[in-house]
């Protein structure tokens, strides 16, 4: 081994992989420090399952990063194996050759990232080149495979990943973003073609691409990370660990089946949930945070759930992923105990998190487009006799009753309007935050466009105002947060919110007393949920577009 290569393998400061910028939404590079946290979790699980043995001292263990970008996972694994296998292979060159030719494998997601990964792992973009630290490869790519892969177009979308043909069928000069790992009908056969017939990976690890343009309105993009998780499971590794967006906890666009399968899988043994993605990926705007999980094929059981946020103490609990009566993962450990107290009073079925019919606040909340008018609809600027007021994006307008497609039963009643998109601070999640846009009273004779949801009907202005006071309570909005995956506040996010007596106004003190919320639980609620000040003038009409979360 040459002197330069030996120096690089023993570590170098500064680390270039801490400095490179992300290339795009699907090429978010994992910081080395975070990659090592995932490897520590893996090593602890391996030791617990294998009599305390060290995974990094096992010369038969095999590792695959099937969507390698910077090569950080493969590099950090190699560094650990170089230390762990020193007794078995005292000669450094022999040790490196064994590790890089027999234990560590990757699949590049683009040409550029495959070259970057080879440079990180082999210290050369050519695995068989003169500057490579490994001897024994007879090919340029080594064990980091990459070949251009094409989408399989059908009715304008890729039948494998759902990508938009209009967006990504753009000729040979540009990347296809057709990732080889998920563009195959038989992943085991495909891996045998790439790495050998008898290849069985002990560990699959990495940070998959998160989304692709799906050809929807504007910059619409569909999640694809779930496809990588499902494909990795199909390879039947002993351990699987990935960092992915946390939005899967509550499902949503293309994620409902994935969420259900994950939450019912008792081989998912740990989840480290980071409430803010920028704490893991500096400068990356990704609403809802990120998590990394560890899946163990041969060791089913309850899941260790750890919540991380800036300088807060890490909250850890071992619990089922799916509570009785719930269809989502309850993200906060403290939030689960609060939710159980609420449900214990409101439900007749012990231990269930499902509210009975007639007691669900969501029954008062409209579906999308409560009056059948899209968010781009603009009413008239001048009011004619008999016209209704329409609350729309950017303010108000007027519309004739005959032009309202649906929702006629709500027009003559008092109601509450609330923005479908919650306020935020740029692309960052902040705590405490508002959870909801500021709701406001809707008088009889008013409607709204898709910009808002409609809550009601109520028999009087007093009842509407009392329901409005309930929405302003921190406890109410915490219950909403527990079912809310993103800025979008659809009817589903009110699943855990019970109805109340609308003949009175509500305060948090009233709700804390009603449900027996402890001082420690109150402290948690106030750390997570910002106050919403509904002073007397805010019980009148307030446009959501005038409200901010600054």
| pLDDT for residue 406 | 96
pLDDT digits (tens, 9 = 90+) for 230-258: 999 999 999 999 999 998 988 777 888 99
Helix (H) or strand (E) holding 241: strand 239-245
Q: What is the pLDDT of residue 23?
A: 52
pLDDT at 277: 87
Which contiguous run of DSSP H or E holds residue 245? strand 239-245
Q: Identify the architecture of domain 3-322 in CATH.
A: 3-Layer(aba) Sandwich (3.40)
pLDDT for position 289 = 87
pLDDT at 167: 87
What pLDDT shows up at residue 7? 40
What is the rounded CA–CA span in Å between residue 217 and residue 423?
21
The C-alpha atoms of residue 406 and residue 422 are separated, in whole angstroms, by 25
pLDDT at res. 472: 96
Residues of the chain with pLDDT under 70: 1-27, 213-220, 285, 423-429, 485-486, 535-550
Euclidean distance between CA atoms 502 and 358, whole angstroms: 14
Polymer length of the chain: 550
Residues in contact with 190: Cβ distance below 8 Å, sequence separation at least 6, in sequence order = 180, 184
Distance CA(414)–CA(428), nearest Å, equals 35
Q: How many CA atoms lie within 13 A of 373 on its CB side?
A: 27
* Domain layout of the chain by residue ranges: 3-322, 347-546
Reading the block at residue 31, the tokens are 């910081």
How many helices, marked H, and strands, marked E, lie in the chain? 15, 19
pLDDT on residue 65: 97
Phi and psi, residue 419, nearest 5°: -65, 140
In angstroms, what CA-CA distances link 209 with 178, 230, 337, 453, 508?
11, 14, 34, 33, 42
- Per DSSP, the three-state class of 211 is strand
Other beta carbons within 10 Å of 61: 20
Q: What is the DSSP letter of 518?
A: -
Per-residue model confidence (pLDDT) at position 550 = 26
Q: Is 58 left (phi over 0), alpha (psi -120 to 50) or beta?
A: beta
Task: Determine the pLDDT at residue 221.
Answer: 76
Q: pTM value? A: 0.84
Per-residue H/E/C for 140-206:
CCCCEECCCCCCCEECCEECCCCCEHHHHCCCCCCCCCCCHHHCCCCHHHHHHHHHCCCCCCCEEEE
Task: Identify which of 195, 163, 202, 160 has the alpha carbon closest to the alpha carbon of residue 59.
Answer: 202
For residue 196, give Cα distances in angstroms to 189, 201, 494, 530: 10, 11, 51, 56
What is the model's pLDDT at position 85?
Answer: 98
Q: Distance (Å, rounded) from C-alpha 291 to C-alpha 533?
A: 33
What confidence tens digit (pLDDT) does each residue in 478-535 have?
A: 999 998 866 778 899 999 999 999 999 999 999 999 999 999 999 999 999 999 977 6
Q: What is the pLDDT at residue 542?
A: 37
DSSP 249: G
User: Are the C-beta atoms of 252 and 486 separated by less than 8 Å?
Assistant: yes
């Amino acid at each position: 081994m040459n002197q330069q290569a030996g120096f690089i393998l023993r570590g170098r400061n500064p680390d270039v992989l801490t400095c490179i910028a992300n290339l795009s939404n699907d090429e978010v590079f994992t910081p080395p420090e975070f990659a090592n946290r995932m490897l520590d979790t893996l090593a602890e699980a391996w030791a617990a399952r294998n009599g305390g043995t060290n995974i990094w001292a096992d010369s038969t263990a095999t590792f695959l990063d099937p969507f390698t970008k910077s090569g950080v996972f493969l590099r950090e694994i190699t560094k650990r194996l170089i230390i762990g296998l020193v007794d078995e292979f005292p000669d450094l060159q022999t040790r490196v050759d064994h590790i890089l030719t027999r234990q560590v494998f990757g699949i590049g997601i683009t040409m550029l990232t495959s070259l970057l990964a080879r440079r990180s792992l082999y210290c050369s973009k050519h695995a068989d080149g003169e500057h490579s630290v490994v001897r024994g490869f007879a090919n340029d790519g080594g064990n980091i495979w990459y070949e251009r892969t094409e989408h399989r177009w059908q009715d304008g979308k890729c039948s494998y990943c759902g990508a938009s043909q209009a967006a990504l069928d753009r000729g040979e000069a540009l990347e296809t973003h057709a990732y080889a790992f998920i563009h195959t009908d038989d992943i085991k056969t495909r891996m045998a073609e790439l790495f050998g017939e008898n290849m069985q990976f002990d560990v699959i690890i990495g940070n998959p691409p998160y989304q692709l343009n799906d050809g929807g309105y504007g910059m619409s993009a569909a999640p694809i990370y779930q496809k990588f998780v499902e494909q990795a499971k199909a390879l039947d590794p002993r351990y699987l660990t990935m960092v992915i967006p946390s939005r899967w906890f509550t499902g949503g666009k293309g994620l409902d089946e994935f969420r259900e399968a994950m939450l019912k899988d008792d081989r998912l043994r740990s989840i480290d949930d980071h409430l803010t993605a920028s704490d893991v990926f500096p400068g990356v705007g990704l609403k809802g945070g990120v998590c990394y999980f560890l899946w163990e094929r041969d060791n089913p059981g309850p899941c260790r759930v750890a919540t991380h946020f800036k300088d807060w103490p890490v909250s850890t609990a071992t619990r089922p992923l799916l509570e009785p009566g719930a269809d989502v993962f309850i993200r906060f450990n403290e939030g689960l105990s609060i939710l159980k107290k609420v449900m214990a009073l409101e439900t007749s079925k012990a231990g269930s998190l499902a509210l009975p019919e007639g007691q669900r606040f969501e029954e008062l909340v409209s579906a999308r487009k409560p009056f059948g008018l899209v968010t781009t609809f603009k009413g008239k600027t001048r009011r004619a006799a008999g016209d209704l007021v329409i609350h729309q994006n950017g303010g108000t307008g007027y519309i004739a009753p005959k032009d309202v497609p649906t929702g006629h039963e709500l027009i003559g009643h008092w109601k509450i309007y609330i923005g479908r998109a919650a306020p935020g601070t740029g692309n960052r999640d902040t705590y405490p935050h508002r959870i909801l846009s500021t709701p406001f009273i809707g008088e009889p004779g008013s409607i709204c466009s898709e910009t808002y949801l409609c809550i009601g009907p109520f028999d009087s202005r007093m009842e509407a105002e009392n329901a409005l006071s309930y929405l302003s309570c921190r406890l109410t909005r915490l219950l909403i947060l527990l079912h809310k995956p993103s800025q979008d506040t659809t009817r589903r996010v009110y699943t855990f919110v019970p109805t109340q007596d609308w003949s009175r106004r509500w305060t948090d003190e009233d709700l804390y007393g009603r449900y027996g919320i402890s001082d420690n639980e109150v402290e948690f609620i106030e750390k997570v949920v910002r106050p919403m000040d509904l002073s007397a003038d805010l019980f009148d009409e307030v446009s959501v577009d005038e409200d901010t979360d600054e």
